[in-house]
Amino acid sequence: MNIVKFVLMILSAFIFLSTGYADGSIVVSDDWIVAAPPNARVIAGYMTIKNKSSQTRKLIKVSSEHFKRIEIHRTEMHGDIMRMVPQDELDIPARGNVSLQPGSYHLMLLGPESVPKEGERVNLILQFDNGETLHINSPVRAATSGSMMKGSH
């Protein structure tokens, strides 16, 4: 293998494994999947989605080959009861961002083929209403004490 091909291969791997993903007007950063017990049927995912365009964008679908389905949810308090409310889509304001974080918007990854372990990565495909699609490779990490109950967004 010549040196140019080797360098290009290394650079491609570095870009693919970085924690920021950009494709057109949408940028994803701070993405991660919660490490869960081996028998978990539902796992949470988080990230920040930034919209660099002058038009509101909608996240309309998230998928992965490793899960039966992925839903967008929002945590809401109703009296003393916390509920996870499914969302059909998620608006990303023009020149703004939305943080998917514990206690707020988040992804529910349902029916894993096998539960990913801490240190592994999960491939996700994010589809937006303008036709943009992002392929991201999110790290699996343990939730820190208190991170699962951050304030609502």
pLDDT at residue 1 in the model: 56
Q: Is residue 26 part of a domain?
A: yes
pLDDT tens digit string along 98-137? 999 999 999 999 999 999 999 999 999 999 999 999 999 9
Q: Is residue 118 part of a domain?
A: yes
Question: How far from chain centre, in Å, is Cα 101?
Answer: 10
Structure tokens at 44: 């949470």
Q: Is residue 37 part of a domain?
A: yes
Q: Which domain holds residue 54?
A: 3-143
How big is the chain by its Cα radius of gyration, in Å? Answer: 16
Please count the structural domains in the chain. 1
**Which CATH number does the domain housing residue 9 bear?**
2.60.40.1890
Instruction: Say what the pTM is.
Output: 0.79
